[in-house]
Amino acid sequence: MSLHDHAPSHAHEEGHGDGHATHHPNYVKIYLILLVLLVISILGPELEIRIVTLVTAFGVACIKAWMVAKNFMHITMAPRYVLYLVATTLVFMLLFFAGTAPDVMKFSGTRWEKTPVAHVQAAPHGDAAHH
């Protein structure tokens, strides 16, 4: 991409260094949809059915997040570079989760068992020093 050796001449150009005007959807309509989704995420857990809670709370959160990213942050209109950048960080996040989850979430395995913290604290200090 070439360098612009002069300042944009007016405000409109300033906003579009990439030479493309942002398409502005009906933001109020999107906002109202987000509010409806918020109400669903509040009412869903009131039914106290686990699967309904998961879908209405976390499923709806994912939809809301995508709506904000797409319509307010205009992520789909940004160069592909941005999508790859964000996707890479999300993959790193999943790698972190996959790498550490067994250590946190499993309490026993083949020839090992996690010692509860209370038991470690209850043991005499001398024991810990000797082992």
Q: Which residues bind another protein (CB under 8 A)?
A: 1-8, 10-12, 14-18, 21-22, 24, 27-28, 31, 34-35, 38, 41-42, 45, 53, 57-58, 61, 64-65, 68-69, 71-73, 78-79, 81-82, 85-86, 88-90, 92-93, 96-97, 100-101, 104-107
Minimum CB distance to another protein, residue 26 (Å) = 11
Q: For another protein, give the closer residue by CB, 104 or 129.
A: 104
Alpha-carbon gap, residue 36 to 56, rounded angstroms:
12
Residue among 49 and 96 whose Cβ is closer to another protein: 96
Pick 28 or 128: Cβ nearer another protein: 28
Residues sharing a CB contact under 8 Å with residue 20, sequence separation 6 or more, in sequence order: 77
- DSSP-H helix ranges across the chain: 11-14, 27-43, 50-53, 60-67, 80-105, 117-122, 125-130
Q: Compute the distance between CA of residue 33 and CA of residue 47 in angstroms, rounded to an integer.
A: 22
Nearer to another protein, 26 or 127 (CB): 26
DSSP single-letter state for residue 79: -
